[in-house]
Amino acid sequence: MQKDHPTTSVSTARREALKRILREQPARRQADLVRELQTLGYEVTQSSVSRDLRELGAARVNDRYVLAEPALAPSSVTLHGFVQEILAAGPNLTVVKTAIGGAQSVALAIDRHRWPDIIGTISGDDTIFIATADADAQTRVIERLRATFNA
């Protein structure tokens, strides 16, 4: 059985196997993914699968895990359906409501855009908080979010 170590080519191969599993069959629980990977010869735990799902940008949508897109980095194009609402909360905080389980993938896509007006993001399960320096920056971010995610 192949050992689980996050810095080896084994983890890269395991993530590729995990992507194939997610594309080919519905996965409702991480335990199912652990079993599938073990069947393929990978020595994994629930925590390593959880870490892999996060690294792959996978999200839980409609009671199953899905990849945000085939590549490792989620793109805004494939995440349009995840964003449900974008709200200003004061002059420096923007709240983005997503589908249940979609916030981490959307926040990752936002972070990877590296918009200069964004100071930082925090995501939960279905909510993202975006901090900006001032109201002008917030207005620009909200406009870009709406254009990017068709929200």
| Closest listed residue to residue 131, CA positions, set 139, 119, 143, 141 | 119
CA dist 143 and 149 (Å) reads 10
**Which pTM was predicted?**
0.54
pLDDT at 78: 59
Three-state DSSP class for residue 112: helix
pLDDT at 63: 72
Domain with residues 77-149, CATH architecture? 2-Layer Sandwich (3.30)
Q: Which residue type does 6 have?
A: P
End-to-end CA distance of the chain: 46
pLDDT at 76: 53
pLDDT at 109: 84
Instruction: Please compute, for residue 21, the number of CA atoms within 13 A of its CA located in the half-sphere on the CB side.
Output: 26
pLDDT at 10: 80
Low-confidence ranges of the chain (pLDDT < 70): 1-8, 62, 68-80
pLDDT at 11: 85
pLDDT at 22: 86
119, 138 in Cβ contact below 8 A? Answer: no
| Closest listed residue to residue 14, CA positions, set 67, 53, 59 | 53
Read out DSSP for 32-56? Answer: HHHHHHHHTTB---HHHHHHHHHHH
pLDDT at 62: 65
